[in-house]
Amino acid sequence: MYHLRLKGDHYEMGVKRGKIFNRGQISFALQLDEFQLEHGKQSEAVLRKFFPEVCEEIKGVSDTVGADYLHFVSWMLCMGCCMYNLESNIPIEVRGCTAFAYAGGGRMIYGRNNDLPPYLRDGSKSEIYAPKNGNRFHITTSSFINGEEGLNEHGLAVAMTFVMTDLEKIRAGFNSCFIVRYLLEKANNTEQAISQLCDLPIASNCNILLADKDGRIAVVECTPSVKNVREAETFDNGRIVCTVNSFTSDKMKRYDDADGNDYDSHKRYRVVMDSFSSGRIRDDYIETTRQLLRGDYGFMCQYDNEPDFETVWSSIFDLENLTIYRAEGDPRKKKFVTDNRLHDIKNRG
C-alpha cells in the first residue's frame, strides 16, 4: 500500500500525483465504450457543478501524464458504477466490503474490511490530504483522488459499499467513491454530510456510512432516484449501524439488482450486528473490533473458496482521537499498524 501526503492547490496536487505516476512509469488503459464515455461526459458536468476543485485535481493528473482530460475523468467516474470491462473484461463490478460504526462506552469506533479482486491490492493507497480551502482528511482507496473510506479532521468518518445496479438505471452523477471524497472535504459532521449528500445527483446504487465523534451514526441508502436514511440500532450496550453490499431497509430492497450475488452480504451483516448486540464488542473496543474483522466471531473475510477475491485491507478508526489502525492485507495474516498522521497534523494546527 502506498502512503502519500498532498496539500495546497487542487491542480498542483494533481500535478504532484501525475509526476509520481510518470516516475513509476504507470500507464492507464482507458478502454471505454460509447455508453461509458457518454456517462462520463454527463457525469463530469455534474461533478464540476458541485465539486469543481476535484475536477482541477484530475486535470492536473491528466495534463501531467499526457492523457485527454475528458476521457480520463470519464474513466474515473465509471469506477464502481459501470466499469464492466475491467481487467479480463469482468462482466460485472466485483466489490465486497463490510463497514460499521459503533457508539458506546464513551467511544466512537468505525471498522471496515475492504474486499476486492487481489490485483487491486498492490496499488491501494492510504493518503493524507490538506487541500486549500477544505477539510484535512485521511482517505483509503484502491484508486486515487476518490476513495472507499476516510476520516477528516473534525472526526467525521465516511465510507461506501457497492450495491449492484442495472445498467439501464444508471444516471449521470457522483459515483460512490467520489461521494466519499466530497463529504470528507466538505462536511464537518453527520448531519451536515446527510444534508449535502441529499443534494447530490447519484449515478448508481450504493450505501454511504456516516459517523462523527459526537456519536451520530447512520447509513444513507442511495439510488439514482431515491435516498433513504437508515438510523442505527440500539442495544443495551450502545448503538450500531452496519452496511454491506445490499440494501438493508425493506423499502429499498426492490432497488437492489444483485440478485443475491453479493459475496454473502447477509451473513457478514448478521455477524457484525450479532457481535455487538451480544456484548462481545466492549471493554477493549479496538482489540475486539480487530477480532471481529479478522473473522473470530463468524464469517467476515474468509474468502478462501472464492477465486480472485479477498480482503485487501482492514481499518479501524477511533473518531475521538483521530487514530487509525490498518491491516494492509488479509487481517487474519497482517497486523494492524497504528497511523497517527491525521492526529498529528490536527494537533499541529
pLDDT in tens, 17-26: 999 999 999 9
What is the average per-residue pLDDT within 231-259? 92
DSSP string, 239-289: EEEEE-SS--SGGGGGG--STT-SSSHHHHHHHHHHHHHTT-S-SSHHHHH
pLDDT of 93 > 60? The answer is no
pLDDT of 85 > 70? The answer is no
Residue 88 has what pLDDT? 41
Please, what sign has the CA dihedral across residues 134, 139, 143, 147? negative
Q: Provide, rounded to the nearest whole percent, the portion of the chain with pLDDT above 70.
A: 97
List beta partners, residue 239. 103, 234
pLDDT in tens, 46-70: 999 999 999 999 999 999 999 999 9
Q: Provide, rounded to the nearest whole percent, the portion of the chain with pLDDT above 90.
A: 79
CA distances 232 to 221, 223, 239, 259, Å, are 13, 20, 6, 25
pLDDT in tens, 108-157: 999 999 998 888 888 899 999 999 999 999 999 999 999 999 999 999 99
22 three-class SS: helix
Residue 94 has what pLDDT? 55
pLDDT in tens, 175-188: 999 999 999 999 99
Residue 305 has what pLDDT? 84
Any idea which of 87-101, 105-119, 136-150, 279-293 has the lowest mean pLDDT? Answer: 87-101
Alpha helices by DSSP H, listed for the chain, are: 10-23, 34-50, 52-65, 69-78, 176-186, 190-199, 265-277, 285-293, 341-348
Residue 341 has what pLDDT? 97
124 three-class SS: coil
Any idea which of 29-33, 83-87, 148-152 has the lowest mean pLDDT? Answer: 83-87
Compute the mean pLDDT over every residue in the chain, rounded to the nearest whole number. 93
- What CA–CA distance (Å, rounded) separates 134 from 302? 38
Domains of the chain with CATH codes: 2-89 (no CATH), 98-348 (3.60.60.10)
Any idea which of 55-64, 223-232, 294-303 has the lowest mean pLDDT? Answer: 294-303
What is the average per-residue pLDDT within 239-255? 95
- CB–CB of 240/267 below 8 Å? no
Residue 120 has what pLDDT? 83
pLDDT in tens, 200-226: 999 999 999 999 999 999 999 999 999
